[in-house]
Structure formats: structure tokens, C-alpha cells
Amino acid sequence: MTFSVEETRFSLPHVELAAHLFGPEDGIPVIALHGWLDNAMTYARLAPKLKGLRIVALDFPGHGHSGHYASNSSYSMWEYLEDVLLVAEKLGWERFSLMGHSLGGIISTLLAAAVPERIERLALIDGLIPFTGEADGAAKRLGDALRARLAVRDKRKPVYADLERAVQARMQGVVAVSREAAELLAQRGLEPVPGGYTWRSDIRLTLPSVMRLTFAHVEQFVRSVQCPVSLVLAAQGQMAVEPRIASLLEGRHFDVHTLPGGHHLHLNEEAGAQQVADCFNRFFAVT
């Protein structure tokens, strides 16, 4: 597939971020956030189908064409939250909407809850809350994370002899995607190295989290979201297997749509992207 997109960069105090720009300059301001180990190309099918939006689709730090955090930093949700606000400052956007897939949806929800005065609307794709962990497992999780961080310096990212092997690997990743989706993500996510290609992503992104929020924490975050929300759930997606999602949404005035497809329904094929676009176009058209 082919599409027209503008590339831009944001120089933050601690990292430089890359982004794709979609839509008219005077459109509704939206910062779009991708999922874990994906990149801004996750919106390649969806963004051109959205009407009247000025979309800034970021590469998170450590992903795509963005820079990596310093060696003494981690890739915590809290750091990403600040980065999004710093990008909004660069754009001069006091209030703006967020669009997020998977991890991007989680970051969007947390940010909307934390700074409700800044967020106009949330458009979420199969992402709402982070994985949770209760207090009785916190010490073990911390120990496992610390040991993994010490060991990561001895790890190396895989090198693929050619692009086809890299695409095949992405198709069969932790979350499987279609060939076209894998090709789009690989287009922005790969770099040439001796012997072939490897992923641009920082290897530290694969490390386990040091600490997780409890379910009580995430309940409070969801309850603290004040802006309108359109949540697209994939019928065969990751959130479909979370039994507590229904209780989280109970009493919330969220616009919820369950659509056929997997976790990357907005990227895997044109039909899925159009269905998501139909939901979001109606959502953003409401004044």
C-alpha cells in the first residue's frame, strides 16, 4: 500500500522523538500512540481514513526512528507520560485528544486521568489498562526485574539475513499480525547491520517491569477519566480475555464497540481499519 505522510522530529531535553503527521494543519489536535515494540506505522491504514484530525503519530522512545533513553534510564509508563506532555508543549497544544493502540491506549488512559484539564477526548484501540500485580508478588517481581537488567548487557538483538525473514518473524511475534501489517511495521522498525537487518528498538524494552499497579490502582485511574472516550475492543484481541474489563466499564460513560478481528485490527487489513475509522469519525464529529 502507498500513502502520503509528513515526517517530523521533536527535540526533548532528554531524547529526540520522531513522528508522522497526518491530516490538515487546522484539524482537531490528536497525539497518536502505538503499542509495545510497534511504531508510528501502526496508523498507516487508519489515519488517512480519519476526517478533520491533525494527527501526530509518535514513535515512543526506543521505538522506530526515535532516540533511546540514556543507559541509566528505564522505559516506564511514567516516563512516556511526561514525553507526551513535552511533545504537546512543543506543538503549543494546551488541550488535545489522544489516540492509542494497546500500550498507547494504556498511556492515554493514565494521562487523561492524571491531567484531565489537558485531554479533550480519548480514542482507544484494544488498550485501556496495564497488566496488574498485587502486593504479595511485588518483592519477587522486583527481584526478577533487577536480575534481568543485570543480564541484559550480555544479550544481543537477532539479526535477519534478509527483509523477508524479519517480516516472517514479526508476523509470528508475541502478537501475530498480517503480512502487510508486518511489512509496514518492519519498514520503520528495521535497520541494516553487518549480516542483514535487526530491529531499531532498544533491547531494554523486553525487560520485565520493576513494579505493577494493583487492580485497585487501575480502577481509580479509569474512574478519574473525565473526557469522552471511544473504546474499540477486538473480538479476538488481548482485552477479550480480561474478565475484569466489564466491571471496569460498568457505570462509565464510554462509547464501547466490539469489532471482529485481532489485537491489530486497525492495521491488519483495510476492512478492519475502515471499521475503526467509522467509529472514530462519528466520535470526533460530536461537538
Among residues 128, 121, 88, 122, which one has the least CA distance to residue 105? 128
Q: What ranges do the domains of the chain cover? A: 1-132+213-287
Number of CB atoms found within 10 A of residue 114's CB: 15
- For residues 28 and 241, give the distance between their C-alpha atoms in angstroms, rounded to a whole number: 33
Please tell me the predicted confidence (pLDDT) of residue 251. Answer: 84
Please tell me the predicted confidence (pLDDT) of residue 3. Answer: 55
**pLDDT tens by residue, 17-44:** 999 999 999 999 999 999 999 999 999 9
State residue 73 phi and psi, 5-degree precision.
Answer: -105, 170
CATH of domain 1-132+213-287: 3.40.50.1820
Q: Render each residue's pLDDT in the chain as its tens digit; 287 residues.
A: 555 689 999 999 999 999 999 999 999 999 999 999 999 999 999 999 999 999 999 999 999 999 999 988 889 999 999 999 999 999 999 999 999 999 999 999 999 999 999 999 999 999 999 999 999 999 999 999 999 999 998 889 999 999 999 999 999 988 999 999 999 999 999 999 999 999 999 999 999 999 999 999 999 999 999 999 999 999 999 887 677 888 888 888 899 999 999 999 999 999 999 999 999 999 999 86
Please tell me the predicted confidence (pLDDT) of residue 287. Answer: 66
Q: Which residues are catalytic?
A: 102
Overall pTM surpassing 0.75 (yes/no): yes
Residue ranges of E strands in the chain: 6-11, 16-22, 28-33, 53-58, 96-101, 119-125, 190-193, 196-199, 229-236, 254-262
